[in-house]
Structure 1
Amino acid sequence: MTAIKPPALSFTEARLRGIVESAMDAIITVDEAQRIVLFNAAAESVFGCPREQAIGSSLSRFIPERFRGDHEAHVQRFGEAGVSSRRMGSQRIVLGLRSDGQEFPIEASISHVSEDGHRFYTVILRDVTQRWLAEKALSASREEVREFALAASTAREQEKSRFARELHDELGQALTALKIDVSWLRESLMGAPDAVKAKLAAMQLLLDGTVAAARRISSDLRPLMLDDLGLAAACDWLAENFRSRTGLACELVLGEGDLDLPDPWATAVFRVLQESLTNVTKHSGATQVEVTLVRVAGEVVLTVHDNGRGFSISDPRKPGSQGLTSLRERASLLHGTAIVESTPGRGTLIELRLPVRDAEERR
């Protein structure tokens, strides 16, 4: 005798079947042996496989061969995990395999139910090829922009270096020669009228100030010791210059290992330290600064910590203030990170991390 389904149940099944068939996402259900028992119209379109050929076949036919073993183990662990559903491939791209052998990226979720002692797994997936291509193009575009910005930054630093060296070597030497000549005149004209002596003395003072200004401008543009003596010596000079200029305590700790990086890594570290100390002078009201520069686990790490007034990271940025943005930009150009931590009344910590594997290849 054949059992007759209640009308309500038949209507529910028909409605559910209609929902599954009209869904825009591919829906596939497999049994415990991972044999396909449901394959909707969207799945036919996505995989290019008629339903009649898919039903009863193994799900592995739609998975690239190199992933089949791992997939079966993942599904088994999912069934034993005690959760009813989860997203697949949340940490990486999941690939499907069309009937014509073409691989394509998918976004999928999996769930399971038990019926009459048997377990069934349902996968809902969508083809995200267009999104993946768009993200890939966007990533390539960002990399091109980053490389262009890095090249522009390097060109600026090279021009600053050239100008600083010309100031130091040519203008500096000329001013030094003038100082010697004025000193000679003062000694040779000891019996000259007082007005002449006063004028020569004023010329001497003006030349001294001009020489000092030329040296300061040259150092601000780019300290020659960064190119001549390396990063460690340049950072030591920067800390000493900060102490003498501000009167604040500044402790510099250089870690072990090779800290003399090539450009543009050396320039990035130096500029971040320079800008950080400038921010301390302008904004922090600190009395002490601690600077550490170490190389660890394939990274060079610079930290600058002051005991100043601090600030709230969430506060709106002051108009025209680009200091912290500049730090992050310098870091991102070299695939690094710049972290700023600050709390009102508890000072500010700036940490720069730059991967240096590429730097080794540049040597």
Structure 2
Amino acid sequence: MAIPKLIDEKAQTLLSLLHKDQRWLIVINADPDSMGSALALKAILSRKVHDIGIGHVNEINRPDNLAMIRYLRVPTRRLIPNLIAQYDRFALVDSQPHHHPELVKLDYSIVIDHHPLSAEKPVHAPLTDIRPKYGATCTMLTEYLQRLKIRPPKLLASALVYGIKADTQSFQRKFIDADINAFKYLSKYADHTLITRIVRSEYHLEWMRYFSRAFYNLRRIGSGLTAHLGKVQSPDILVVVADFFMRVHSISWDAVSGVFGGTLVVIFRGDGMRKDMGKFAASHFGDMGSAGGHKGAARAEVPMGALDGKDPEMFVLKKLSRGKTASVQRI
């Protein structure tokens, strides 16, 4: 697999930032793509620096993510002040600082990501490598491994394969030739039995009640669906339900919302043909919280305090319908 000249330049920049006495923390918003990418960067740094850790900002409750951590031995820990204090250099993969309130608090030396850039919130780091055309950040890290002649061991290759598979939805979502090339290359080294185990770990039994709630609260807005699930144990259930509703015939987008802790979370999914869900999320919720993502998948998080006592379900419906709630149809 040919390595673009850009990767050669970026790889050299990365190596120039490393010193044997450094202690690096790789920060992620944990999902398959970010965890696979973090493991790859860890493999690169491990040959050059004193210590490397991985820290995640989100709750990890989705069964497939937990299975990935278990089977592929992802050594990630919750990002807390005590963990941060143990490190003197920080890297961010598969995300950008403005994507999460906790991410923006750190000063990064490395940012590697495939999400769209925001003109209003530029990213500054000695190594900034952001390529929105790529289907997965795992693809980008695979190119770094190849440029640096690091052959991925079985568990790392499996993590990278699963990260690409998850973020491209098995190549049904946006991807480019580089994603296919990386997937083919990694497949030679990956353990596909382990990957199958992870893929089959999708739902917690206790999540079934949220599906019932989603069906009860389901609304239609044009060619889209929306449902509010109230208080949820984890935002991951919103992702699962949003993915499920995209299987409905004639539906081109959906938005599933819920309250987690003190935050209103809205998960967006689209067919990738009509609406750009990243822009859609940002235009509807970006003025009140963090919002953005891809053309086919996006997320918004709004502090409950910003709602000034408004009912979160009605707040979301009014935002999505731009105040024209008469156009909202109950299913």
TM-score bracket, normalised by the shorter chain, equals: under 0.3
Output the TM-score relative to the length of structure 2: 0.22
Output the TM-score relative to the length of structure 1: 0.21
Find the structure with the greater CA-based Rg.
Answer: 1
More helix by share: 1
